[in-house]
Amino acid sequence: MDLPSGHALVTALVTGVLLGGLFAITALGLSLVFGVMRLINLVHGELIVLGAYLAFVLLEHGGIDPLLGLLVIAPALAVVAYPIQRVLLTPLMSKGAEAPLLTTFGLSVIAQNVFILVFSGDTQSLSTSYASDSVDLAGIDVPVVYLISFGLALALSVAAHLVIQRTGIGREIRASAEDAVAAEVMGVNVPRIYAVTYGLGAGCAAVGGVLVGLTFSFTPTTGVTYLLTGFAVVVLGGLGSVKGTLLGGLLLGAIESVGGAFFGDGYRDLIGFLVFLTFLAIRPQGLFGRRPA
């Protein structure tokens, strides 16, 4: 193993942190849904891929820039996700954790097959002028899309934090997450709050999907990769914590990038998941999560 130079390490660290913004965005919806409903949403990866495919359709057939298309794609996925939670998942949540978990798994399999039928199994990407551009930051060559992802990660995290902490519906979300029964007694429409949260999670997944399409290529089964990455991020940061999800994404991006500089890019995922498993064993509540009772 050849040790990387100092410049190579700094480059790997900077680009890894910036790429971590993408990881944080793709994990934010997963974290919100679990934090409020204690639901492991296995179809989250397919929601990310759906966002990428919708951006692809708008770009190829309408000439609409993917980032501009977010103004349509994110609300569209939120609207689609709302009735899925309200009609399909909410009635199952009173029957234990297994029923909604298996339902989201079934939705994941169905979505993958629908993607293949509609878009084929070919690899796609979102080709724009800035998707392959880079800028020089103090001698470090940084892809423009990494900077965009990092900026959007900060903006989304701040927005989600403010909504949850400073708004009326945010108070209802916090109450439902803390004690759903007590929240209902106090007049909170918990099924509606669950559906709103699921819709917000899907909207965040849509943003992540567009950025994934701009940064990498994607196929109908790409969602599995980002579901696993999302698990790693939320475990590192703390389940249900918005600031933890942001920090967890940046941390995972830095670990994978620096690890790749030492051992080669082929080992990035392996290094990231080894750190994830180690962290899970040592501190299962994550950096900002609550310690299990």
Q: What is the pLDDT of residues 231-280, one digit of tens each?
A: 889 888 887 788 889 999 999 999 999 888 888 888 888 888 888 888 88
107 found inside a domain: yes
Range of the domain at 28: 6-282
pLDDT reported for residue 293:
37
Q: Is the distance from CB of 2 to CB of 52 less than 8 angstroms?
A: no
Q: How many Å apart are CA 86 and CA 194, to the nearest integer?
A: 7
pLDDT reported for residue 291:
46
Nearest to 122 by CA among 23, 221, 246: 221
Q: What is the CATH number of the domain that holds 60?
A: 1.10.3470
pLDDT tens-digit map of 90-143: 888 888 888 999 999 999 999 999 999 999 989 999 989 888 888 888 788 889
Q: Is the distance from CB of 3 to CB of 262 less than 8 angstroms?
A: yes
pLDDT reported for residue 122:
93
**pTM higher than 0.75, yes or no?**
yes
73 found inside a domain: yes
pLDDT reported for residue 290:
55
pLDDT reported for residue 53:
97
1 found inside a domain: no
Kindly tell me if the per-residue pLDDT of 292 is higher than 70.
no
Buried/exposed code over 23-51 (b: 16+ C-beta within 10 A; e: otherwise): bbbbbbbbbbbbbbbebbbbbbbbbbbbb
Tell me how far CA of residue 79 lies from CA of 74, 174, 195, in angstroms. 9, 22, 10
222 found inside a domain: yes
pLDDT reported for residue 81:
94
pLDDT reported for residue 20:
94
SS3 content of the chain, % helix, strand, coil (to 5): 75, 5, 20
Q: How many Å apart are CA 158 and CA 94, to the nearest integer?
A: 32
Residue bearing the bigger pLDDT, 58 or 262? 58
292 found inside a domain: no
Q: How many Å apart are CA 196 and CA 112, to the nearest integer?
A: 24
Q: If pLDDT is split at 50, 70 and 90, which confidence band does 148 have?
A: very high
pLDDT tens-digit map of 159-209: 999 999 899 999 999 999 888 889 998 899 999 999 999 999 999 999 999
Count of domains observed in the chain: 1
Quote the tokens at residue 113. Answer: 């097959």
Determine the straight-line distance between the first and last CA of the chain, rounded to whole angstroms: 44
Q: Which residues pair with 142 in a beta bridge?
A: 135
288 found inside a domain: no
293 found inside a domain: no
H-helix or E-strand containing 212? helix 190-215
Kindly tell me if the per-residue pLDDT of 284 is higher than 80.
no
40 found inside a domain: yes
Q: Is the distance from CB of 124 to CB of 218 less than 8 angstroms?
A: yes
pLDDT reported for residue 25:
95
